[in-house]
Structure 1
Amino acid sequence: MTPAQFKPLKIQAGDASLTVHIAGSGHPLVLCHSLLADRTSFDRVAPALAVTFQVIAVDLPGFGASPAVTGGLAAVADRVAAAVRALELREPPIMLGNGYGGFVTLQAAIRHPGIAQRLVLADCGACFSEPGRAAFRGMAANAQEGGLAAVADVAMRRLFAPEYQAQHPELITQRKERFLALDRATFLQACEALAALDLRPELASVQVPALVIVGEMDEATPPAMSRELAAGLPQARLATLPGCAHVPQLQEPEQFLAAIGEFIGLPRPA
């Protein structure tokens, strides 16, 4: 079977725009990427998903061809929700977010009930610990002074465990290049938003099934955050992925697909 070809589409929602990349047919599945790894972090799973689903891979505001927004995480979530509505999908999508994209997805579900049929929240949470908040403040300060290059190595450490980096130098070089292409103002705003984030009081309002998954070696959003998130959502289950860090769909695509398959309705391999 020939892999699906993803086609870019600029969505206009009022005076705002967002670029998505679409392939496949079937039930709509929206993919929202991490802060440290752009839309291409789904490249190892998106073609397989597009065999069954209409996959909509988002360039979040400030990434790729999508203009940046001001107003913090809520404004990002509102723009994503507006784009989903503007697509006039035949049914509410499954929304899958990784890292920063998971926080955006969760915020969209809180602020826009009915925007999604179900959620996959990968390596995120509802609130960072104080050390986690301090890490974002530190990255922002260093990036403000020295640009994204000053935090690129830290970013890679947050994405992948050191052992994995040593075994996959070409991938790390590629991911570092993608990170350095990010709009610095978007990065700084996101760090500020994540350092202040606390969605715990609003979790009970999310009345759709959710799958919370986390890499057991995730240093950026440690497993304790996912456990807290799953416990706070009314209809959530938790899955931990052995050996994975912050971007399991990039590190271990087959394991990632197996973990989400039953929940999203992905057919089992023959």
Structure 2
Amino acid sequence: MEPIVLIPGLLCTETLYAPQIVALADRPVLVADHRRHDSIAAIAADILAVAPERFALAGLSMGGYIALEILRAAPERVSRLALLDTSPKPDAPEQGERRRVLIELAETGKFGKVPHLLYPGLVDASRVDDETLKATVVEMAQETGAEAFVRQQRAIMGRIDSRPSLAAIAVPTLVLVGDGDTLTPPQVAREMHAAISGSRLAVIPGCGHLSTLEAPGAVTAELQAWAKA
């Protein structure tokens, strides 16, 4: 079976894909490490150095930014693409400013506050008081750590505009988004879907940005169908 490379989002670990890893266990699955570098290009090169020769590629949020860079760098190695709750656009000025505030917290010994500040924006409004899900998000952040978080934020802030390269994507592509995602909203997913010829759009009801954890059954079903397309 075709190997799959999964790239987590900002402050996320393999736990982000735990339900999907179990469901896709009939094939080799690699969860990429995106914590060592402060540029998207360097992270992509790192992943390509350890990835199988040819593979299916899925990324959520920051993972999607990296996936698009991998596809630009080595299109011949990617057999299919899944872009989950992500955006091809560069940061708007207000997004960059918010990242700088969070970096300052991390660099001044207040990293413990960061996942709690981020959590409400990461999930559907109906999950804001879900303490189990929040504990998972906090645990992933703690495992990532402050230094890696700063590197990830700097990489995200420096990413290029991927919109011009979307039309060149020629592999089977799934564009998936939670209908309650406020960080990379459904309209952004629709724009990506329109720009990528032959892509499939899936809007998952009742979940926000962390769709793989919020609606694991629906997202896993979409990924299983995508992997066999």
- Asked if these proteins are the same fold (TM beyond 0.5), I'd say yes
Report deviation, 1:82: 1.5
Residues in 2 aligned to 1:116 and 1:78: alpha-carbon distance in whole angstroms = 14
Classify the secondary structure of the residue corresponding to 1:246: coil
What amino acid does structure 2 have at the position aligned with 1:43?
A: A
Look up the match of 2:17. 42
Greater share of helix: 2
CA contact (8 A) 1:133 1:194 kept: no
Look up the match of 2:37. 69
For residue 123 of structure 2, the aligned residue among 160, 165, 176 is 160
Report deviation, 1:146: 4.0
Report deviation, 1:184: 2.1
Report deviation, 1:79: 0.9
Residues in 1 aligned to 2:192 and 2:97: alpha-carbon distance in whole angstroms = 20
For residue 157 of structure 2, the aligned residue among 177, 185, 195 is 195
Residues in 1 aligned to 2:112 and 2:125: alpha-carbon distance in whole angstroms = 19
Residues in 2 aligned to 1:115 and 1:260: alpha-carbon distance in whole angstroms = 19
Alignment of 1:258 onto 2:227: no
Deviation beyond 6 Å, 4+ runs, structure 1? none
Residues in 2 aligned to 1:132 and 1:215: alpha-carbon distance in whole angstroms = 20
Residues in 2 aligned to 1:177 and 1:163: alpha-carbon distance in whole angstroms = 21
CA contact (8 A) 2:4 2:30 kept: yes
Look up the match of 1:244. 207
Residues in 2 aligned to 1:182 and 1:94: alpha-carbon distance in whole angstroms = 25
What amino acid does structure 1 have at the position aligned with 2:31?
A: A
Alignment of 1:31 onto 2:9: no
What amino acid does structure 1 have at the position aligned with 2:29?
A: V
Report deviation, 1:170: 2.4
Alignment of 1:126 onto 2:88: yes
Alignment of 1:117 onto 2:79: yes
Report deviation, 1:240: 0.9
CA contact (8 A) 1:120 1:213 kept: yes
Residues in 2 aligned to 1:145 and 1:235: alpha-carbon distance in whole angstroms = 47
What amino acid does structure 2 have at the position aligned with 1:238?
A: L
What amino acid does structure 1 have at the position aligned with 2:118?
A: A
Look up the match of 2:45. 78
**Residues 254 and 242 of structure 1: CA distance in aligned 2, closer, same or farther (over 3 Å):** same
1:48-100: CA deviations, max 9, x gaps? Answer: 1113x222222x132xxxxx134x0110011111211xx44xxx211111111
Residues in 2 aligned to 1:223 and 1:136: alpha-carbon distance in whole angstroms = 22
Instruction: State the aligned residue count.
Output: 227
Instruction: State the TM-score, normalized to the length of structure 1.
Output: 0.76
Q: Which runs of 5 or more residues in structure 2 are unaligned?
A: none
Instruction: State the TM-score, normalized to the length of structure 2.
Output: 0.88
Look up the match of 1:182. 144
CA contact (8 A) 2:37 2:155 kept: no
Residues in 2 aligned to 1:42 and 1:194: alpha-carbon distance in whole angstroms = 21
What amino acid does structure 1 have at the position aligned with 2:111?
A: L
For residue 143 of structure 1, the aligned residue among 106, 114, 119 is 106
Classify the secondary structure of the residue corresponding to 1:119: strand
Report deviation, 1:265: 1.5
Classify the secondary structure of the residue corresponding to 1:173: helix
Alignment of 1:93 onto 2:93: no
Q: Which runs of 5 or more residues in structure 1 are unaligned?
A: 1-25, 63-67
**Residues 151 and 203 of structure 1: CA distance in aligned 2, closer, same or farther (over 3 Å):** same
**Which structure is richer in relative contact order (CA contacts within 8 A, separation 6 or more)?**
2
**Root mean square deviation, CA, Å:** 2.1
What amino acid does structure 1 have at the position aligned with 2:19?
A: R
Classify the secondary structure of the residue corresponding to 2:177: strand
Structure whose alpha-carbon radius of gyration is higher: 1
Look up the match of 2:196. 233
Report deviation, 1:162: 4.3
